[in-house]
Amino acid sequence: MLVYGKQVAKEIAKAKIKPKRIWVKKNLYEFAKRHFPNSEIRIVHPNVISKLSGSEDHQGIAILVDIKYKTLKDFFSTKKIKNFVVFLDGVQDVGNIGNIIRITEFFGGDAVIISSEKSPDITPAMIKSSSGSFFHIDVIKEKRKSVLGELKKMTKIYCFDVRGERDIFTTKFEFPATLCFGSEDEGVSSETLEFSDEVIKIPGFGKTESLNVASSVAIAVSFAIFSHHYNQGNLSLSSYPKIQPSQGFSEKWED
């Protein structure tokens, strides 16, 4: 697959992946040579890179690399779930998926798992939206029923949905965990909800009806990490600003 962008290039180099070929505009040759000293690098006009990549957002560099989704078997052959995985149920927008990959990797997630039902193929736009984080985390594609059946054996499964029985601020999160999110139109599927230990909502206090799914993931992941470590006695609330319960937070964690 042909991917593009300077940050994506840096992350490919950081992941120690050797590209098959690289195209750069003239003033990025030294940049490419520094990051990929043993790869074939061609200096071309930016218009050539635009044509190759199908985008004007290439920043003067395009890279040909092997990319594919992994399977759960691939993951468990070398790793285990230590913290959390994010499961995307029917999320189709590649920009959102890329952002979610970036968020999950940033917060130390073990993998992003995408249900094979209604899911897109990997695209250069997905890689670009992830800012290259795709190369630092396992991105898995599996049928929801089989993967959730396996995850149920080893993690607590939390589904984030407007139909949630309780809100995120009164939930005690336990790790390792699977955090499930659905599409903005349909939410989490009924099949996924059957595997859930808890269905949780992120309450809003303004006039906007809903959040972008990537924004929801960022809120949910950061709060789940905080909740887990706080309940383990690893964090203190004393360093955080006081927020009144009327703003949506509880003064105490509720069972």
Q: Are residues 79 and 59 in the same domain?
A: no
Q: Rg of the Cα trace of the chain?
A: 20
Q: Are residues 43 and 160 in the same domain?
A: no
Contact between 189 and 148 (Cβ < 8 Å): no
Q: Please identify, among 12, 29, 64, the residue that sits at the C-terminal boundary of a domain.
A: 64
Question: pTM, whole model, 2 decimals?
Answer: 0.86
* Local structure of 100: helix, strand or coil: helix
- How far is 211 from 95, CA to CA, in rounded Å? 15
**254 part of a folded domain:** no
Q: Are residues 115 and 237 in the same domain?
A: yes
- How far is 58 from 53, CA to CA, in rounded Å? 7
Residue whose token pair is 């959102």: 96
**252 part of a folded domain:** no
Q: Are residues 151 and 196 in the same domain?
A: yes
Q: Are residues 59 and 77 in the same domain?
A: no
Q: Identify the pLDDT of residue 204.
A: 87
Q: Are residues 16 and 56 in the same domain?
A: yes
Q: Are residues 135 and 191 in the same domain?
A: yes
List the pLDDT tens digit at each of the 255 positions of the chain: 999 999 999 999 999 999 999 999 999 999 999 999 999 999 999 999 999 999 999 999 999 999 999 999 999 988 889 999 999 999 999 999 999 999 999 999 999 999 998 889 999 999 999 999 999 999 999 999 999 999 999 999 999 998 888 899 889 999 999 999 998 888 899 999 999 999 999 988 888 878 899 999 999 999 999 888 777 776 554 443 443 433 433 334 333
Q: Structural domain of residue 86, as residue ranges?
A: 72-247
Q: Are residues 33 and 132 in the same domain?
A: no
Q: Please identify, among 47, 64, 81, the residue that sits at the C-terminal boundary of a domain.
A: 64
**Helix/strand/coil (H/E/C) assignment for every residue in 105-166:** HHCCCCEEEEECCCCCCCCHHHHHHCCCHHHHCEEEEECHHHHHHHHHCCCEEEEECCCCCE
**224 part of a folded domain:** yes
Number of domains present in the structure of the chain? 2
**255 part of a folded domain:** no
Which tokens sit at 25?
């505009």
**8 part of a folded domain:** yes
**41 part of a folded domain:** yes
Q: Report the chain's mean pLDDT, rounded to a whole number.
A: 88
Q: Are residues 83 and 185 in the same domain?
A: yes
Q: Are residues 189 and 146 in the same domain?
A: yes
Ramachandran area for residue 132 (φ above 0: left; ψ -120 to 50: alpha; else beta): left
- How far is 197 from 185, CA to CA, in rounded Å? 23
CATH number for the domain spanning 227: value is 3.40.1280.10
**253 part of a folded domain:** no
